[in-house]
Amino acid sequence: MARSLVELLIKHASNHPERTAYRHLVTGDCDGEIQELTYHRLALRSRAVAAWLQDRGLAGSRAMLLYPPGLEFVCAYLGCLAAGVIAVPGVPPQGRAQNHRALNRTKRLMADADAKVVLGDRGVLAALDGMAEHLPELDRIARVATEDIPDGTASGWREPELTPDTVAFLQYTSGSTSAPRGVAVTHGNLLANEAVITERMGHTPEAMAAHDHEMFVSWLPVYHDMGLIGPVLNTVYLGATATLFSPLHFLQQPARWLTAVSRYRPHTSGGPNFAYELALKHASPELLGDLDLSAWKVAFNGAEPVRAATLRRFADAFAPAGFRREALYPCYGLAEATLMVTGGTTATAPTLLAAADGTPNAGEADAAAVGCGRPGPGVTVAVVHPESGRELPEGEVGEIWVAGAGVAKGYWRNALATRQTFRAELPGHEGRFLRTGDLGLLKDGELFVTGRLKDLIVVDGRNHYPQDLELTAELTHPALRPGCTAAFSVDAGADGERPVIVAETAPDSAGEPERITDVIRAAVGDAHGLTLRAVVLVRPGTIPKTSSGKIQRRATRDAYLAGTLAVVTGPPM
């Protein structure tokens, strides 16, 4: 059994050196410039980066990885693993005003990880040099453009002494309700979670052969766990081929995603729920006529609430292009568990849970939640009362707790948060559990995620999940952007807690703010029996989100109370 992904990379490079490991669509288009890495070339470049790091005595230290979308990141990341250096993927700041938040995040990550070296490409390092006054930390940190490291450096590589407990990388996650923390993921965690992904998604040798090793198409950001652990690292784990392109190119033209799936016919591709909504907005007859999605076996949907309506509409819209409803694959995971916790059964349509009595396979209109599948091998999922710590019976909503070899070591240099989150004990079970902070229930062994523990809105003694209010609001008007609405509550004095809706609107909706506000109020009142304290419409792209695209409700609430929202109409009170 392999001890690390580095061993698997070397094996694949030896067994099939000319097989394509990754191709990168430079412009996002299948007929544009394409860069490819064979397994031989990938192993060579990774060893060259590793040897450069080893020669400078950096084993065991942290390396910031700041790259634009492309294959150089993959070589650098695997090079860190091959050197025994702890990789810290980040988002490169570009030096413009709108990237002020990215610059601050980079500074925080550098300081928290105590990074000793920055790996990037020439463009990123030049940009960093231009921001030296804002990044004084760079004075003490070595920097290298990894494309300038010669191939010949690889001959000096020495295989590091890695154990399952050796930290491989830090996955910084801002979470929906908390400040960024570095999740310390070990080599053992990585291998365990890759095994879960492989089993749950049906990445068998037979599936590999049937797809001629084309297993992934992905536009997901590689600095985030879903884009990294899934499409990038499962590819190396399997010895498969993945097609990658930039998230920006997807957002600019969502049809590029489905065009790439049609062209390369991968087994697996997916993203958060909003990606499917964007694809639906561009499902023109011309596009449908050009697509063949019949080879797509796993269309995974995770990282944010999975909407039953989205699943149904996507399956219906793309059925003429050969897409099968059975390919829809809701799943659940989080960075603290490396990535995947539960996933559906391939070739089986998703389970919808009825709101009234908890009966599986409800109709879309009656669905309270979408099933996110069953735990992977070696993974234990329990639903627990968050205050008493008592395991709840099937069908009752509580906090989701997770145990297994894929659960990370803890938060980097944060013993208190590690103890609170990763060290829970559950009577009747051996070992420690991860408290996810997510709410859900188990039904017939399947997990249904219903919300976030800290995001509950309690009005007049009744619990309301913000996701429900957000969905109701989003569906009221076409000018509201999917996945860009935040619901939270504020103290209204004698009236107690009252809900607020903040929603991003499309740029062309400037003439309709009052109508949009009115229909949101009416819809939330009808569907939930709630009177909104305020409806605030804001400019596109201004609601705070995590690196994976999850709404940061607490940060949005703070901005609302501080009066700093980018309001397009009315005062934010």
CATH for 370:
2.30.38.10
Residue 95 lies in a domain: yes
Rounded mean pLDDT, 518-529: 92
Which tokens go with 94? 């570009």
Q: Residue 260 falls within a domain, yes or no?
A: no
Q: Using pLDDT thresholds of 50, 70 and 90, give the confidence band for residue 101.
A: low
> 363: pLDDT confidence band, cut at 50, 70 and 90?
low
**Same domain as 492, residue 437:** no
pLDDT class of 138 with cuts at 50, 70, 90: confident
The reply to whether 156 and 83 lie within a common domain is: yes
**145: its two tokens:** 């453009």
Do 156 and 19 have their domain in common?
A: yes
| Model confidence pLDDT, tens digit, residues 386-445 | 989 999 999 999 999 999 999 999 999 999 999 999 999 999 999 999 999 999 999 999
Asked if residue 153 and residue 19 are part of one domain, the reply reads yes
* pLDDT above 80 for 103: no
Same domain, residue pair 448 and 488: no
Q: Which range, of 105-109, 326-330, 494-498, averages the lowest pLDDT? A: 494-498
Domain boundary among 433, 453, 473: 453
Does the residue 525 lie in any domain? yes
Give SS3 for 305: coil
Region of poorest pLDDT, from 191-205, 215-229, 459-473? 459-473
Measure the CA–CA gap between 156 and 241, rounded to whole angstroms.
28
End-to-end CA distance of the chain: 60
Based on the fold, state whether residues 377 and 513 are members of the same structural domain.
no
CA distances, 93 to each of 51, 76, 366, 467, 547 (Å): 27, 18, 44, 31, 14
Mean pLDDT value across residues 257-276: 96
Average pLDDT in the 356-376 region?
74
Q: How confident is the model at residue 539 (pLDDT cuts 50, 70, 90)?
A: very high
Q: Mark whether 448 and 462 lie in a shared domain.
A: no
Helices in 72-181 by DSSP H: which ranges? Answer: 72-83, 100-113, 122-129
The H or E element that residue 493 is part of is none
User: For residue 356, is pLDDT > 60?
Assistant: no
**Measured between alpha carbons, how far is 470 from 478 in angstroms, rounded to an integer?**
14
225 within some domain? no
Domain limit, last residue, from 162, 197, 213: 162
- Whether 556 and 505 share a structural domain: yes
267 assigned to some structural domain: no
pLDDT for position 366: 57
pTM, two decimals, is 0.85
CATH number of 501's domain: 3.30.300.30
**More confident site: 162 or 364:** 162
Enumerate the β-bridge partners of residue 118: 64, 143
Give a yes or no: residue 371 inside a domain. yes
Which residues constitute the domain of residue 516? 456-569
The whole-angstrom separation of Cα 332 and Cα 197 is 11
Final residue of a structural domain among 104, 138, 162: 162
Give the CATH number, domain containing residue 113.
3.40.50.980
The number of helix segments (H) and strand segments (E) in the chain equals 18, 28
> Could you tell me if 434 and 461 lie in one domain?
no
* 473 and 551 inside one domain: yes
Q: Which is more confidently placed, 38 or 102?
A: 38
Token pair listed for 223 = 């600095």
> Distance between CA atoms of 288 and 278, rounded to whole angstroms?
15
How many independent structural domains does the chain possess?
A: 3
Question: Is 184 among the domain residues?
Answer: no
Clarify whether residues 360 and 423 are in a common domain. yes
Same domain as 390, residue 531: no
pLDDT at 572 over 70: no
Pairing status of strand 34-38 against strand 20-25? antiparallel
Kindly state whether residue 215 falls inside one of the protein's structural domains.
no
